[in-house]
Amino acid sequence: MINQDDSLIELAAKLQKKRELRRDLRHRLLDGKGNSAVVVKKLAEYLIERPELKVVALFSALRGEVDLLPLLDVMERTWVFPKVKGEVMEFYYVKSSEKDLSPGAYGILEPKADLAKVDIEKVDLFLCPGLGFDRRGGRIGRGMGFYDRTLEKASPRAVKLGVCFDFQIVDEVEMEAHDVRMNGVIYG
């Protein structure tokens, strides 16, 4: 029989393991020399094979992450970008990175205020950043939970893909009940 103390010790160990993994992955991102063009090419090939994925949620890269902005220029899709509003993200239609995005919180490019908001249920594909991923779709983010809270509200039919460099792939990401698993990971 497991008592409450054992459960708390187990939880503390899991949280410590996640903290250590985040620290390691942050160093990898800062030290890494990822090539966004390789990943963008793989994503473009993926999208060409799946024309039914019409409304695609991108993200604005933080330092060291894959830069997805070139997709806007090479692919015909309906693109949406997130904007943090309190504890969740809202998505807005974007046609041009130069005209429709501007630096927001933390210097991250986000949709301008005059753009149309999209209902999250309409998004067919979410391209998700993370510090790291495993090959089973486990994702570890920066610890704020924005993507997990947002993806819980997405349509069950929506595809969720992690996007990263090959040095961000790890053996296992310890998943918790609130963590949302990706349907796959595209990396290069």
Q: Is the pLDDT of residue 68 over 90?
A: yes
Taking Cα atoms as reference points, which of 116, 115, 117, 89 lies closest to residue 102?
115
1 pLDDT above the threshold of 60: no
Nearest-angstrom CA–CA distance, 132 and 151: 17
Domains held by the chain: number: 1
Q: Structure tokens of 9?
A: 């010790």
3-state helix vs strand vs coil in the chain, percent to 5: 35, 25, 40
Q: CATH number for the domain including 87?
A: 3.40.50.10420
Joined tokens for residue 33: 């020399």
- For 142-183, the pLDDT digits (tens) are 878 899 999 999 999 999 999 999 999 999 998 888 889 999
111 strand-pairing partners: 101
Range of the domain at 131: 4-187
Q: Considering only 36-45, 101-110, 147-156, which range has the smallest mean pLDDT?
A: 101-110
Query: Are the CB atoms for 56 and 124 separated by under 8 Å?
Result: yes
